[in-house]
């Protein structure tokens, strides 16, 4: 797998600059194109919720205000993309012209945000999300990209990261989700200077699965050290972040949603914990 198209959903918030800076550092590393996606809400979709007693003039005023708000947010997104790309020395791709690599492109699409992001994720190699207003990285759009579109996502915490993937930690539990994340992360692992495989369990943790992964990565030219970590009863997500931070990693690779989203939301889980508390970039796949 190669990384050639990086999708970055944007909303016109102050955090966009840092997310874009992180995504552009990845685009430069892989000579990829970054696509800044603005999902413009369709005001007409709110009409059924206004009720029958609302006058036509009030409806028109509300729709006009919604259009103007979307126009303002769109302008902020475009300006942030152009400013950040210029500072990073990345060219803005011209419509109809031959795309330079790396490059950046702006996309303005009207519709429901989660549906638009899922649709455009299907033909993207990586989707980069920052923290949402709820404090959960990516919000429901991240789930749409990872679960509906089956694409890897990169969580970019509140900081401009450059590089991403110099030191990589892999959270490994021999699950299908973790395997998928490793497959998707191969381009990062091949470039990394240091790779650590973190296997979390009790004192009698089996070293076999970690060694099997290390042998597989060696076939890709990746040298990885296996670390057996006694979680001491702590939640796996907490231990993964602690270990990655201690290793001064700038990328954590892990599977996402080994349990259903409803169970993760109601009872907590590794995915939900990492999405809420990540302080370094995290590549997740399902």
38 with 143, same domain: the answer is: yes
Give me the mean pLDDT over the 221-227 stretch.
Answer: 97
Residues with Cβ within 8 Å of 113's Cβ and at least 6 positions away in sequence, in order, are 9, 39, 41, 141
Last residue of one domain, picked from the residues 121, 155, 189: 155
Structure tokens at 51: 């009720």
Whether residue 183 sits in one domain with residue 137: no
Number of domains in the chain: 2
- Decide if pLDDT at 77 tops 60: yes
Residue 21 sits in the same domain as residue 133: yes
Say whether both 232 and 261 belong to one domain.
yes
Residue with tokens 């201690």, as numbered in its chain: 246
Domain range enclosing 224: 167-285
Q: Say whether both 136 and 219 belong to one domain.
A: no
Asked whether the predicted pLDDT for residue 64 surpasses 90, the reply is no
- Does a structural domain hold residue 211? yes
Query: Among residues 155, 179, 195, which one ends one of the domains?
Result: 155
| Sign of the alpha-carbon dihedral angle for 188, 189, 195, 197 | positive
- The Cβ of residue 119 has, within 10 Å, a number of other Cβ atoms equal to 15
Q: Are residues 181 and 148 in the same domain?
A: no
Alpha helix positions (H), 89-175: 113-121, 139-143
Q: What is the pLDDT of residue 94?
A: 80
Query: At 244, is the secondary structure helix, strand, or coil?
Result: helix
Q: Does residue 160 lie in a domain region? A: no
| pLDDT mean over 260-282 | 74
Q: Are residues 50 and 99 in the same domain?
A: yes
Instruction: Give the per-residue pLDDT at 266.
Output: 39
Looking at the structure, tell me whether residues 24 and 65 fall in a common domain.
Answer: yes
Q: What is the pLDDT of residue 108?
A: 96
What is the reported pTM?
A: 0.91
Report the alpha-carbon distance of residue 150 to residue 158 in Å, rounded.
Answer: 25
The verdict on residue 276 lying in a domain is yes
Instruction: State the average pLDDT for the chain.
Output: 89
CA 2 to chain centre: 17
Separation between Cα atoms, residue 141 and residue 116, nearest integer Å: 9
Q: What is the mean pLDDT of residues 239-247?
A: 96
pLDDT of residue 249: 97
Q: How far apart are CA 158 and CA 173, in angstroms?
A: 28
Judgement on whether residues 223 and 252 belong to the same structural domain of the protein: yes
Mean pLDDT of 65-73: 88
Please check whether residue 26 is in contact with residue 32, taking contact to mean a CB–CB distance below 8 angstroms. yes
Query: What's the token pair of residue 71?
Result: 């126009």
End-to-end CA distance of the chain: 16
b/e map of 44-71 (b: 16 or more CB within 10 Å)?
eeeeeeeeeeeeeeeeeeebeebeeebe
Mean pLDDT, residues 242-269 taken together? 77
Final residue of a structural domain among 99, 122, 155: 155
pLDDT range class, residue 206, cuts 50, 70, 90: confident
212 or 53: which leads in pLDDT: 212
- Burial of 236 per CB tally in 10 Å (0-12, 13-18, 19+): buried
pLDDT at position 47: 53
Read off the pLDDT of residues 143-155 as tens digits, 9 standing for 90 and up. Answer: 889 988 899 999 9
| 39 and 64 inside one domain | yes
Give the CATH number, domain containing residue 138.
3.40.50.620
Distance between CA atoms of residues 185 and 190, nearest Å = 9
In sequence order, the β-bridge partners of residue 228 are: 199
């Amino acid at each position: 797998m190669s990384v050639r198209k990086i999708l970055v959903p944007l909303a016109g918030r102050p955090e966009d600059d840092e997310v874009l800076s992180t995504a552009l550092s990845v685009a430069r590393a892989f000579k990829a194109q970054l696509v800044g996606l603005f999902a413009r809400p369709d005001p007409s979709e709110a009409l059924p919720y206004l009720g029958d007693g609302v006058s036509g003039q009030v409806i028109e005023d509300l729709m006009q205000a919604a259009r103007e708000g979307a126009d303002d947010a769109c302008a902020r997104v475009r300006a942030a993309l152009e400013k950040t790309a210029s500072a990073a020395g990345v060219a803005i791709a011209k419509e109809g012209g031959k795309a330079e690599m790396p490059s950046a492109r702006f996309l303005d699409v009207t519709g429901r945000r989660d549906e638009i992001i899922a649709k455009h994720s299907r033909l993207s190699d990586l989707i980069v999300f920052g923290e949402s207003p709820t404090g959960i990285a990516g919000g429901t759009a991240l789930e749409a990209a990872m679960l509906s579109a089956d694409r890897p996502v990169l969580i970019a915490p509140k900081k401009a990261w450059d590089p991403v993937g110099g030191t990589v930690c892999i959270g490994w539990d021999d699950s299908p989700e973790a395997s998928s994340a490793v497959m998707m992360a191969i381009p990062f692992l091949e470039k990394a200077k240091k790779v650590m495989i973190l296997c979390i369990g009790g004192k009698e943790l089996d070293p076999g699965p970690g060694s099997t992964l290390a042998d597989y990565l060696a076939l890709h030219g990746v040298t990885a050290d296996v670390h057996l970590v006694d979680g001491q009863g702590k939640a796996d997500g907490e231990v993964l972040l602690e270990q990655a931070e201690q290793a001064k990693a700038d990328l954590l690779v892990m599977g996402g949603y080994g349990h259903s989203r409803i169970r993760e939301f109601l009872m907590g889980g590794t995915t939900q914990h990492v999405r809420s508390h990540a302080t370094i970039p995290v590549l997740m796949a399902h």
